[in-house]
Chains A and B, each alone.
Chain A
Amino acid sequence: MPDRRRAKEIVFQAVVAILTFSTIAPLLHIIFSVFVEGLPVLIKGGISFLTDTLAPPSDGLGGIGPAIVGTFVLIALSSLMGLPIALMTGIYSAEYPRSIIGRAAKILLQIMMEFPTILVGLFVMELLVIPMGSYSALAGAFALAVIMMPYVAISTEEALKEIPRSYREAAFSLGLSRAQVVFRVLIKMAKRGTLTGILVGMAKVAGETAPLLFTAGGSERIYFRGLNRPIGAIPLLIYQLVQQPYDNYHQIAWGASLLLMLIFLGIFIPTRLLLREVKF
């Protein structure tokens, strides 16, 4: 009998292992092929791949400088617009969970998180692009801010709610005002969760394409020109290059993909490791 039980156990473990592997296999495959295809491009292109502008069709690699700068400008701008509002929303719904605004915010944020991002792009196009008469960095960043906000707000709210009640009470028992309790004590205890949300939000918008299609417009050959002018972004560039029939454009797209992945992982991994965990 013990033998049969042991055999069952082994079979079960094997099945779980196979299923687990098959879920992460696509991810591994993406990472693997992006490296295999992209690395030679980055090596061949060298530094100028990071700084030059796009090459003409069928004529070398050139560079994706404007798209790289564009991605960072868009991350910075959208953070500037989205983070303050998102943090306040998260704090508000953690502090006043029963208020009408607090409850509504919670539901709206959940919906926003699942909302098709291309519709966000359309919405911002109507709101900003058409009135302004041009694609712009501002419109692109605004669309990304809308996408980033729910991640930040929800993770802030959850991080605040995870703090044991006893610390809130201790802070209030020192005669602090509610604002002091939240901003001088609790928000720092929720640092890890909040920062994780901010990073997830940033990494997410760094990789977004759809919301930029009708808002940022793209810019492959000219660097950042101003908030009211079109701007490039790496995912947008990849999307545009892959559609072209030129072999060198496909290579550039692989190089850009590897770079995008490195940026994504570069935002994600170090901060995860660096953040000191607060134990309750």
Chain B
Amino acid sequence: MNSLEIINLNVYYGNRHVIKGINLKIPQKVVFAIIGPSGSGKSTLLRAINRLIELDEDAKVEGDVRLFKKSIYEMDPREVRRRIGMVFQQPNPFPHMSIYDNVALGPRLNKLVRNKEELDYLVEWALKKAALWDEVKDRLGDLASKLSGGQQQRLCIARALALKPDVLLLDEPTSALDPVSTAKIENLLLELKKSYTVVIVTHRIQQAARIGDYTAFLLDGKLVEVGDTAQIFVNPKDRRTEAYITGRFG
């Protein structure tokens, strides 16, 4: 079963057509990579998938996105966002909150836990899942802003995981990080795909090649090609895909 199904999706900012009739099926428990040049609509696509785009008054969405066969537009947007977690390009843990509170905020306000023990347990679980627990277990009360960039990004992953989502969206999560932190996060995503659907937007083509089971290539708001990562990289069907992955434009 597909975890996400994107059906004839169009997004407009004012009268600017940014996502142009995209159809996409994203299977369960895979790393699904989305590549494409700057401005091709990758972030917009992600933001339409968890309805974050509705924060922008100018944005208009047509078409449908289905999460396990159910239209997200028939769901409460808050539920959609709980079930489809998001990690952003710049690590953005809440800088005034402790490491613990960053992870605990979502479960607390969404009333996912009944008491302090359950919350402690969930925070520990999420931090372990995000491969951060060992580095922070003795300093959970420290401000999140004291962590390194790579640690902050893993904290953001833990924050999203604490809501026990079905899908994790990541928008260029490593573009602000050094190679070591990047490698850690890539390994983490490979681990996470065992239980989640991971959708990652990336600027770095090699990143898609390294960790993507599937890769979709976006150009100017249109889906040019999608398939097995190996097939896309070894044997692209579209000349524009080939041009992009061989670095001839974008």
Contacts and interface: CB of A to CB of B under 8 A. Distances in A.
Contact of B96 (A169, A176, A189): A189
B86 interface: yes
A174 B93 CA distance: 12
Interface in A116-171: 164, 166-171
Contacts of B159: 170, 174
B160 A173 contact: yes
Contacts of B86: 169-170, 173
A170 B92 contact: yes
A280 B78 contact: no
Interface size class of B (residues with CB under 8 A): 20 to 34
B156 A175 contact: no
B96 A188 contact: yes
B94 A170 contact: yes
Contact of A185 (B50, B52, B105, B145): B105
Interface residues of A, number: 23
B55 interface: yes
A89 B195 CA distance: 45
B36 interface: no
Given A170-B156, A180-B109, A175 B92 contact: no
B94 A174 contact: no
Interface of B: 50, 52, 55, 57, 78-79, 81-82, 85-86, 88, 90, 92-97, 105-106, 109-110, 145, 156, 159-160, 163
Given A169-B88, A171-B94, 14 more contacts: A166-B92, A170-B86, A170-B88, A170-B94, A173-B50, A173-B81, A173-B85, A174-B109, A175-B78, A175-B82, A175-B163, A185-B105, A191-B96, A279-B95
